[in-house]
Structure 1
Amino acid sequence: MRIGSTIQGIERAEEKRETMEVQNPYNQKKIAELALAGPQDVNDAVQNSYEIFHSRMKGMPAHERAEILRRAADALHQKQEEFAAVIMQEAGKPIRHSREEIKRSIQVLRFSSELSKHRTGEVLPMDAAIGGENRVGLVKREPLGVVGAITPFNFPLNLALHKIAPALAAGNTVVFKPAEKTPVSAHKLVTLFQEAGLPDGALNVIIGTGKETGEALVAHELVQKITFTGSLPVGRAIRKAAGFKKVTLELGSNSPNIIFADAELETTVSSLVKGAFAFSGQVCISAQRIYVQQEIYESFLEAYVQQTENLTLGNPGEESTDIGPMINEEEAERAKHWIDDAKAKGAVIQTGGERNGTMLTPTIMSNVQSNMKIIADEVFAPIVSVIPFETEKEAVEFANDSIYGLQAGVFTKDIDRAMRVANQLEIGGVWINEISTYRQDNHPYGGVKQSGIGREGVKYAIEDMTEIKFIGIKMEDK
């Protein structure tokens, strides 16, 4: 299978292009050959999307945009198993979890369809200001134009649609640059939107490397907004290069989860097994730091290790598999090095810590220090640290001791304490009696500190995909 960029509905996969292979992370089998795009393709895509924005999308009625998104949702619903199989193959995500991603992706499309018809403004009381008599003020939201969407490998469809669907719902056009590790689902998504009736050029997809195409997309003068999910270093570079463009950045995290002594232990343990190890920990809000009150620390750790060791590792195509491979061997090697480095500095491996190719066994660490990479940085691997604490104040200080602040979990039956802690956490989102890894597609999602800028969640993304325009009317006196 050879795939290339799609611009104005036409695929660019000529033989003369440089190529790159997409491999299954589990068995290294070739899935596709990419015909790589370059800066000229990016320019063509942006120019075309700019033209389509002004000729088609900007003036398209809301009901028409809503219908296109609804048809796309219906088509994806019909092709759930087909898309799930692609994600399983290109990302190595266990098939059960791949199906969950498809269901969420359908939901994002449906939310976007509904909300595309509710892009409302307001009427201002102009006479609230001195001299404002006989004036009417209208505030409306208008689409931005061309949106550049850059996405990572870990949720190749859902994270893409969190950018694309709200942008289209707001009336924009999109130039989409997916991760080169997982472009097959992106390629299929273009076809899906074509079948749903989206005008050619409203969604152009660039298949290429970040260096060759991502940088050109960020720098292009006709792009009005960049929305990016990925690493902190790349996010910093995008913000610097974007100039006056609007920017949404969903970057790293090392999410804390705080377990108080009165928490319901059994469900908390089982939830945090999933929260730390789902998709081999390659989730930006994966539970990476678990702080457990001293009274229950030993019992929590014992139960946590036992349930983790019951997970099934192996072929992501098998229904019984809980944990599949990491995205590639380089990432697995990096994660193993972090484990070994922490162990050399005094940390204890309670379970796991073994690597075989791209497979890394789920790893629980204890006796960690705050300056170890496994706790200070984003590990993005099936590694979690369990740390005891004494007081509420100490737990908050531990959780806030990070350059990141994306999402957290707090477990307690004391609602007063839960709210006190939630209000003190320097975090973009806090779940009470739920793991940090839980995300719904309709709540505001984004971080503080170096976890990012802006918010996703369909309603909030649509707002940020528009610009406010004020229109004032001075009426004649009677």
Structure 2
Amino acid sequence: MTAAFWVAGKPRTSEETVVVRHSFDGSEAGAHFVPSTVDTEEAVRAAHEVRAEAAALPAHVRAAALDHVSRTLADRSAELADLITAESAKPINWARAEVGRAVSVFRWAAEEARRFSGELQRLDTDPGGTGRMALVRRVPRGPVLGITPFNFPLNLVAHKVAPAIAVGAPIVLKPAPATPLTALALGEILAETDLPAGSWSILPVPNEAAAGLVADPRLPVVSFTGSVPVGWGIRDSVPRKHVALELGGNAAVLVCPDWTDLDYAAQRIATFAMYQAGQSCISVQRVYAHADVFPELTDRVLAHVRALGTGDPRSPHTEVGPMINVAAAERVESWVSQAVAAGGNLLTGGARDGATLAPTVLTGVPEAAAVLADEVFGPVVTLNPVSSVDEGLRRINDSRFGLQAGVFTRDLATAFDASARLDVGGVVVGDVPSFRADQAPYGGVKDSGVGREGPAAAMEDFTEPRVTVLTGLPL
């Protein structure tokens, strides 16, 4: 069955269709209709025209819609997990976890919608403000253009759609061409709500069509998750728009000499360097371990990595599946070869079979090598000894990225020092940087982007303050 796309909350078909294929064996995951330029124009116009009505929706209406999506995602979790695996080749166990996260994101957005109330500020702190009080509310900036990547085809869509609904901002969503089917299935659930027509559209258009959407003045907010050059290119092209960017990174871990449970650290590093074939913005890419613990940690990481099973992602026994396509796997394979040619040591992995790259561990890699300096976005981790905690923190910061970092320490002073000094959006103490609490602010600095996700944080991004001054009040 060919999936319809969604224009102003209604299903739509077209002359053109696209087949989505599974990267493990090339089997057909599904097909969808492709919006025409007329369909796209209608979606944008509808979002623009409904903006005042959407902003005026009572909080209970917005919250009820979000609650319905959350409950229905939970009811359809097995079906949606299978769909995620079919189109993205994400191992089924991770796909099930993703659906669970999206259930929570919509639930949290419903809760935030109910308490998104603004604040009162007394103004009689100066003589000229005697008898005056300000009501500071946040109002939608206008319709949102959400652009999402392939690696989380449901949860990253949820992080665009849920906060937009929560604040009453219409949203036009452009899912990744590689993985649009899950987003289109979400449309079936959104269509069951009482949101007004035009509140949302889902347009699986090719990437070439994104520029026109980005430039359209009727979409004053752009929320993009994806690659660095595309993200900054968007921001540079529309300097008068409000642009939020989550652009990835090369997440680092520091294992301090006081950390005694090296097997736990090694297991977490191995799992979250390789989970989802490393195709996560906060997968572990760089490990810096104090020289006192480096040899043992290396042995334990290798043991855990070698125990990870690769294969068909539809099997619950598969822990590391294929990458999104053969071209992506070939790129990472070449980066590993370049690192070895530059003097790095390949401890395990490196071999490619189609779109699957064996989990790979490297040591002794020069700092300028792509596997250290850039975002690998593949199942590759580098292990690096450091002589001190200070050196480890400095080397983590020696990156053009700054999304999240992990620090294995039990020393409170070290933890606070790391939090103060690391130039990243989040520091995870006692674990890897791959931990994300979906309700918390999430984003980065430097080339990792600008703005924050998480329902409450994104609701701030999608809105602006409006002040109402009340006069003649007995305070």
Q: Which runs of 5+ in 1 are unaligned?
A: none
**What residue in structure 2 maps to residue 198 of structure 1?**
195
Matching of residue 217 in structure 1 with residue 218 in structure 2: no
Q: Secondary structure at the match of 1:295?
A: coil
Q: Which residue, 50, 55, 75 being the options, matches 1:52?
A: 50
Residue 475 of structure 1 and its aligned partner are, at CA, apart by: 2.9
**What residue in structure 2 maps to residue 244 of structure 1?**
240
Q: Secondary structure at the match of 2:407?
A: strand
**What residue in structure 2 maps to residue 14 of structure 1?**
14
TM-score, length of structure 2 as denominator length: 0.97
Q: Which residue, 276, 288, 310 being the options, matches 1:313?
A: 310
Q: Secondary structure at the match of 1:343?
A: helix
Matching of residue 230 in structure 1 with residue 226 in structure 2: yes
One-letter amino acid of the structure 2 residue matched with residue 36 of structure 1: V
Q: Using the TM superposition, name which of 243-252 and 372-381 deviates more.
A: 243-252
Residue 476 of structure 1 and its aligned partner are, at CA, apart by: 9.0
Instruction: Verify the 8 A CA contact 2:311 2:322 in the aligned structure 1.
Output: yes
- Looking at structure 2, the residues matched to 440 and 311 of structure 1 have their Cα atoms a distance apart, in angstroms, of 25
Residue 35 of structure 1 and its aligned partner are, at CA, apart by: 2.9
Q: Using the TM superposition, name which of 140-149 and 247-256 deviates more.
A: 140-149
**What residue in structure 1 maps to residue 40 of structure 2?**
42
Q: How does 1:132-281 map to 2 (within 5 A)?
A: 132-212=129-209, 214-263=210-259, 264-281=261-278
- Looking at structure 1, the residues matched to 35 and 227 of structure 2 have their Cα atoms a distance apart, in angstroms, of 22
**What residue in structure 2 maps to residue 76 of structure 1?**
73
- Looking at structure 2, the residues matched to 393 and 323 of structure 1 have their Cα atoms a distance apart, in angstroms, of 34
One-letter amino acid of the structure 1 residue matched with residue 299 of structure 2: E
Q: Secondary structure at the match of 2:468?
A: strand
**What residue in structure 2 maps to residue 341 of structure 1?**
338
Q: How many residues align?
A: 473
Instruction: Verify the 8 A CA contact 1:75 1:196 in the aligned structure 2.
Output: no
Residue 471 of structure 1 and its aligned partner are, at CA, apart by: 1.2
Percent identity, please. 36
- Looking at structure 1, the residues matched to 461 and 5 of structure 2 have their Cα atoms a distance apart, in angstroms, of 27
Instruction: Verify the 8 A CA contact 1:447 1:453 in the aligned structure 2.
Output: yes
Residue 414 of structure 1 and its aligned partner are, at CA, apart by: 1.4
Residue 129 of structure 1 and its aligned partner are, at CA, apart by: 2.7
Instruction: Verify the 8 A CA contact 2:43 2:201 in the aligned structure 1.
Output: yes
Instruction: Verify the 8 A CA contact 2:14 2:36 in the aligned structure 1.
Output: no
Instruction: Verify the 8 A CA contact 2:323 2:355 in the aligned structure 1.
Output: yes
TM-score, length of structure 1 as denominator length: 0.96
Q: Secondary structure at the match of 1:269?
A: helix
Instruction: Verify the 8 A CA contact 1:287 1:384 in the aligned structure 2.
Output: yes
Instruction: Verify the 8 A CA contact 1:312 1:323 in the aligned structure 2.
Output: yes
Output one character per residue of 1:93-135: Cα deviation in whole Å (capped at 9) or x when no partner. Answer: 0111000000000000100011101112122221223411232
- Looking at structure 1, the residues matched to 178 and 105 of structure 2 have their Cα atoms a distance apart, in angstroms, of 23
- Looking at structure 1, the residues matched to 217 and 129 of structure 2 have their Cα atoms a distance apart, in angstroms, of 38
Q: Secondary structure at the match of 1:408?
A: strand
Q: Which runs of 5+ in 2 are unaligned?
A: none
Q: Using the TM superposition, name which of 464-473 and 347-356 deviates more.
A: 464-473
Distance 1:351 1:274, change over 3 A: same
Instruction: Verify the 8 A CA contact 2:138 2:463 in the aligned structure 1.
Output: yes
Q: How does 1:354-369 map to 2 (within 5 A)?
A: 354-369=351-366
Q: Secondary structure at the match of 2:86?
A: helix
Q: Indicate the RMSD between aligned Cα atoms, in angstroms.
A: 1.4
Q: Give structure 1 regions of 4+ aligned residues with deviation exceeding 6 angstroms.
A: none
- Looking at structure 2, the residues matched to 50 and 5 of structure 1 have their Cα atoms a distance apart, in angstroms, of 19
Q: Secondary structure at the match of 1:131?
A: helix
Instruction: Verify the 8 A CA contact 2:9 2:199 in the aligned structure 1.
Output: no
Output one character per residue of 1:332-390: Cα deviation in whole Å (capped at 9) or x when no partner. Answer: 00000000011111111100000010010000000011100000000000001000000
- Looking at structure 2, the residues matched to 147 and 5 of structure 1 have their Cα atoms a distance apart, in angstroms, of 18
Q: Secondary structure at the match of 2:440?
A: coil
- Looking at structure 2, the residues matched to 127 and 476 of structure 1 have their Cα atoms a distance apart, in angstroms, of 10
Residue 283 of structure 1 and its aligned partner are, at CA, apart by: 0.1
